[in-house]
Structure 1
Amino acid sequence: MAISVVSLFSGGGGLDLGFKKAGFDIKWAIDNNKNAVSTYKKNIGNHIVCADINTIDLESIPHADVVIGGPPCQSFSLAGKRDVEDERGQLVWRYIQIIKQVDPKAFVFENVTGILSAKNAKGEKVVELLKSAFIEIGYSISTKVVNAADYGIPQKRKRVIIVGLKDGYSFQFPTETHCEDGTGLKRYVSVEEALGDLPLAVEDEKGVTEYLVEAQSEYQGKMRCEGKITEHFIPQMSELDKYIISHVKPGGNYMDVPADVNSARIRRLQRDGGHTTCYGRLKPDEPSYTINTYFNRPNVGCNIHYSEDRLITVREALRLQSFPDSYELVSSSKQGKHLIVGNAVPPILAEIIAEKLKNYI
């Protein structure tokens, strides 16, 4: 019998895709973002509810063997105050209420590394309050900062994963399979290994095109689908951004741009330093940096294509997040697509954790 799952803060379903691939049965999911819910339905199933998790009737949530998902990170400045009026501040405690209600054998909680240093108004560490609350309702807790690149995803994406198990068991995280130099393990999957088989991006905003060459790496082979590729359109850029991008070399950033550029921000960065990935171009032989929700902008992260003078496409961002090419986005806006992609858990990482979790359930 398949292991049943309830998914919270599901977004476009990165965690869910991985658990589904590992053979888990996702019975129920929830998110309050209409675009994410529409995308989830297109790719995973109709069992997702579009609603505010703070107002949902807890009795309506089915019991399940596993609960997956993590509250958005905005909540952590206030999370320790259980009586806060700000709804975002209540999300982490709402998560615990749902765990208590559903009473799963295990849960998987994912979040940004900022949760490790976040404190409430009393100066108490949020992550310690969270662990104590989970222990109080009967779970043994294992916590790890996981780098997606260590598991074969072409992205240096660090996230905190907390796994809780009932009955005194302690979860051992999957052993890393990849490392930077390949000593004793496989070498990190690089950007070029992830994207090198994709055709030239198109002007049409639907971004529909097709493969022109065979897969050139194991990773590309995993990602490819039957039929056409979607979301592979050239992002819009200003003339200034085009000028800036044309000067940045692979692995470089704003320091490569001529000092007479018509941008006060770049001149300030060149003078003061910091934000080293700002206006960054990907290196073909290394994983990307974290794909965020603003990968359509050159000034927020390292989002310039490694060999072409443009920003990465939505499809390329999906590839770097380990979403298969068969995954389709449904959104009323471009920014809606970027939010779904940038906020997601890489599905391959989710699948690896799900496979390990089977041993305990």
Structure 2
Amino acid sequence: MYYSVLDIFAGAGGFSLGFQLAGADIIGAIEIDRWACETFQFNHPEAKVIQSDITTMTDEQIMTMFGKIRPNIILGGPPCQGFSICNKNSCDHKDPRNSLFEEFIRVGRLLKPQIMIMENVPNLVKARTANGELVIDIVIAKLREIGYEVNYRILDATDYGIPQIRKRLFVVASTIKLNTPFPEKTHSIMSTPDFLEAHLDKCPTLWDAISDLPEIKAREGEEECAYSKPPQNNYQRLLRAGSNKLFNHKAMNHSQRLVARFATMMWGDSTANVPDHLRPLKRNSAEFSEKTYGQNNRRMHPDRQCHTIAASFYANFVHPYMNRNFTTREGARIQSFPDWYVFKGKPTVVSHKLLQREGRVEEKYLCQYNQVGNAVPPLLAKAIAENIINQLRS
């Protein structure tokens, strides 16, 4: 049977890619960011990609665009920065991004797909409204109002063979009762008795993900280049399938001082561990900054799974062996994007806060690093997709 997918709050298309890899057709996407739309369209050329703020789109516009080709499945990752800072005692009730799930539900009410899947940060299960209601309870109630069975679970990417410690919340709404709304684990990060008894595969490590990529220093690399060595393992063979070259493997233009700082760092060290004379300086000043951030520029262990690839991961991690941050392609490998998937737009942009202050909002787009970090890991999306599509078919 034919299964079609519409992705809203689509970003660069990682969620959609997983469903495509599971055999579904990606018919459309709605995304506000221009560069993310360019990436989505380039990699999903058959899809109808709409660059728009969904809150400004009327019901009639949505029905005109997608009503005749009603998708079986709607995916959505409403921006979640407001939820990210929520906990049991506090939540940013005024953050407008916290209500964008209403738009996800609106599209479902209009198009009536068999399946709706929302992805978000784990803290959404703790987030509360100003009057104390749990946001997740509201989401479930609203989906049930429009005729869906609803299940939710926090999934860890390492359980599905992605070399990254990344936990995300998935809400699955369906018009039929799913016996198993979520896929069974396929991988483990440790060779424990449970691992052996369950016949789980060993989850790849960071080095398993990137060791075959060309070894480049700071300021080196290209947006398009050749492979320099053959694949070293099955994970690399999987992600290299269908591509005869590499894209987006360009190192950042670090200063000599930053490279020297990285050179002092051992695995697990961060900016907080560097010698005093290499401490970060204040912006536009020769004075040392009094602030140190332990989560910034941490050198990753090669034989472990990577920490969560966030939107600003270019400043989070240092390569295990090279004295530089990760490239976009290395981040994409850790996220499980295949090598043929090309990210458009600039590799990096200046601070969005700075652009806002200087009135340069026309330059405020999601750079390649942002697009990679915001994405649902495609292999995790593929596991979710295969589990659901197999049940729909049966």
- Whether TM exceeds 0.5 here: the answer is yes
CA distance 1:85–1:113, shift in 2 (3 Å) = closer
Count of residue pairs the alignment pairs up: 349
1:286 to 285, 300, 304: 304
Instruction: Please give the secondary structure, in 2, of the residue aligned with 1:162.
Output: strand
In the alignment, what sits opposite 2:56? 55
Q: Is the 8 A contact 1:253 1:280 kept in 2?
A: yes
In structure 2, distance between residues paired with 1:74 and 1:256 = 29
Report if aligned partners of 2:119, 2:170 keep a CA contact under 8 Å in 1.
yes
Tell me the CA shift for residue 226 of structure 1. Answer: 3.2
Identity across the alignment (%): 32
**AA at the equivalent of 2:246:** I
Segment of structure 1 superposing worse, 197-206 or 277-286? 197-206
- The range that moved more, 229-238 or 102-111, is 229-238
Instruction: Quickly say closer, same or farther: Cα 1:140–1:323, change in 2 above 3 A.
Output: same
Residue pair 1:75, 1:92 contacting (<8 A) in 2 also? no
SS at match of 2:171: strand
Give the Å deviation of 1:187.
2.1
Task: Indicate how the Cα distance of structure 1 residues 102 and 310 shifts in structure 2: closer, same or farther if over 3 A, else same.
Answer: same
- Matched AA of 1:36: A
- Structure 1: which amino acid aligns with 2:170? I
**1:215-252 deviation per Cα after TM superposition (whole angstroms, max 9, x unaligned):** 11110101114322121111122344223211111122
For 1:75 and 1:137, locate their aligned partners in 2 and report how far apart those are by CA, in whole Å.
26
AA aligned opposite 1:70: G
Q: One-letter code of the match for 1:112? A: V
Residue 334 of structure 1 aligns with an amino acid whose one-letter code is T
CA distance in 2, matches of 1:136, 1:76: 23
Instruction: State the match for 2:362 in structure 1.
Output: none
Q: Tell which deviates more after alignment, 285-294 or 227-236.
A: 227-236
Q: Distance in 2 between matches of 1:306 and 1:85?
A: 40
Shift of residue 268, structure 1, vs aligned partner: 5.7
What SS does structure 1 have at the residue aligned with 2:246? coil
- 1:238 counterpart = 2:255: yes
SS at structure 2 position matched to 1:192: helix
Aligned pair 1:308/2:322, yes or no?
yes
1:68 corresponding residue in structure 2: 75
How far does the alpha carbon of each residue in 1:165-204 deviate from its partner, in whole angstroms, 9 at most, with x for none? 1134354311111122123222221011110111122745
Asked if the contact 2:36–2:371 (Cα under 8 Å) also holds between the matched residues in 1, the reply is yes
CA-to-aligned-CA distance 1:303-340 (integer Å, 9 cap, x gap): 10011111111110111111111111121562411111
Q: Deviations over 1:11-48 (max 9, x none)?
A: 11101111111111222211011101111111112411
3-state SS in 2 of match to 1:141:
strand
Taking the aligned partners of 1:69 and 1:314, their CA distance within structure 2 comes to 23
2:63 match: secondary structure:
helix
Q: What corresponds to 1:24 in structure 2?
A: 24
Partner AA of 1:52 in structure 2: D
For 2:206 and 2:347, the matched residues in 1 are separated by 27
**Contact residue 156 and residue 289 of structure 1 kept, 8 A:** yes
Closer, same or farther: CA 261–85 of 1 in aligned 2, 3 Å:
closer
Q: Distance in 2 between matches of 1:355 and 1:85?
A: 37
- What residue is the counterpart of 1:321 in the other structure? 335
State how far apart, in whole Å, the 2-side matches of 1:76 and 1:212 are: 42
Q: In 2, distance between residues paired with 1:211 and 1:276?
A: 34
State how far apart, in whole Å, the 1-side matches of 2:255 and 2:124 are: 36
Partner Cα separation in structure 2 for residue 228 and residue 333 of structure 1: 18
Match of 1:191 in 2: 206
- Counterpart of 2:245 in structure 1 is 228
1:85/1:153 CA distance change after superposition, 3 Å: closer
Which residue number in structure 1 is paired with residue 162 of structure 2?
153
Residues 114/240 of structure 1: CA separation in 2 closer, same or farther (3 Å cut): farther
Check conservation: 2:114, 2:175, Cα contact below 8 A. Answer: yes
Residue type of the partner of 1:208? Answer: E
1:251–1:282 CA contact under 8 A, matched in 2: yes
- Offset of 1:85 from its aligned partner? 9.5
Q: Over the residues paired in the alignment, what is the CA RMSD in angstroms?
A: 2.5
- In structure 2, do the counterparts of structure 1 residues 146 and 341 end up closer, same or farther at CA, with 3 Å as the change threshold? same
**Alpha-carbon distance change, 332 to 188 in structure 1, aligned in 2, over 3 angstroms:** closer
Aligned with 1:232: secondary structure? strand
1:128 and 2:137 equivalent?
yes
Query: Helix, strand or coil for the counterpart of 1:144?
Result: strand
SS in 2 for 1:251: coil
Instruction: Please say if residues 30 and 52 of structure 2, whose CA atoms lie closer than 8 Å, have aligned partners that are also in contact.
Output: yes
Q: What does residue 224 of structure 2 align with?
A: 208
Code of the residue aligned with 2:207 in structure 1: it is E
Contact kept in structure 2, 1:188 and 1:286, CA below 8 Å: no
Q: Aligned AA for 1:18? A: G
Question: 8 Å contact 1:54–1:87 — kept in the other structure?
Answer: no
> Aligned residue for 1:248?
265
